Amino acid sequence: MCAVHQPNLFPRLTTLAKLFAADTWIVLDDVQFTRRDYQHRTSLAALTDRDRTRWLSIPTHLPQGRQTAIRDALIADPASTRRRTESMIRQEYRTSTHWPALQTALEPVWVAFDTGRTAAVAETSTRVLLNLLGWNGRILTASGLPARPERSERLADLTAAVGADTYLCGTGGMTYLDPAPFTTRGIAVAPFLPPAAGVWASARRVTSLWALAHLGPDGIAARLQALTGSPDSLEAAA
């Protein structure tokens, strides 16, 4: 099973869960960087009140203007942005009993700021969270795989290129996806629909760091295992 997703800075729980459910994550690194998306910012929820949020942004320079691909976007001031990012996350989650595990896991993210590239930091932040949850899948980049330019055809081509027989599609993708290119290649399209109760109530709005700090890596991993085990397990995942 394959999921195609742009590199997100400390992704939301819905994104993390979709990637966790897949065997392969294809990083969509060669599409246009869009500031309104989550490549350059994430919403931090307070540990004791997930409705109290604040934006965490990475000031980003686009060398080719609006046409700059995600992989080419540059952090405007890597050193100061790293310090501010560390400080804000520590302020929100240091009182969690799970903070020591999170703090250790996040070390590679701070190192990634030395690359000066927004996508490197975002991809690393996703990778370390997946590792923290025990995910053993593989990660490939879209720019290294053959695919046609049209949206649905490209997704089908990328899925076929990694040898997957199923494309895992989020709720947003289902609104525009054309199933024909997948059908032609013998690829099934599986909708990913997490529950909306419990820990998932804010899963589309805030970074998954809140859930990890609130319930811990083992607690979230158990819910993701329940969610991806079978449709009958969705209630347990809440």
Question: Residue ranges of the chain with pLDDT lower than 50?
Answer: 230-238
- Summarize pLDDT for 128-163 with one digit per residue, the tens: 999 999 999 999 999 999 999 999 999 999 999 999
pLDDT given for residue 219 in this prediction: 95
- How are strands ordered across the β-sheet holding 188-191? 138-141, 24-27, 2-5, 166-169, 188-191
Q: Please state the separation of Cα 156 from the chain's center in Å.
A: 20
pLDDT given for residue 238 in this prediction: 36
pLDDT given for residue 227 in this prediction: 83
**Distances in Å between the alpha carbon of 209 and those of 60, 70, 116, 204, 236?**
22, 23, 23, 13, 21
Q: Strands 24-27 and 41-46, how do they pair?
A: unpaired
Other beta carbons less than 10 A from residue 110's beta carbon: 14
pLDDT given for residue 234 in this prediction: 35
Query: Helix 209-229 to helix 118-132 angle, to the nearest 10 degrees?
Result: 60
Global model pTM greater than 0.75 = yes
Other beta carbons less than 10 A from residue 148's beta carbon: 13
* Angstrom distance (rounded) from CA 118 to CA 75: 5
The residue type found at 27 is V
Asked if 224 and 133 count as a contact pair (C-beta separation under 8 A), the reply is yes
Helices (H), 61-200: 78-93, 99-105, 107-112, 118-132, 151-161, 171-174, 180-184
pLDDT given for residue 127 in this prediction: 97
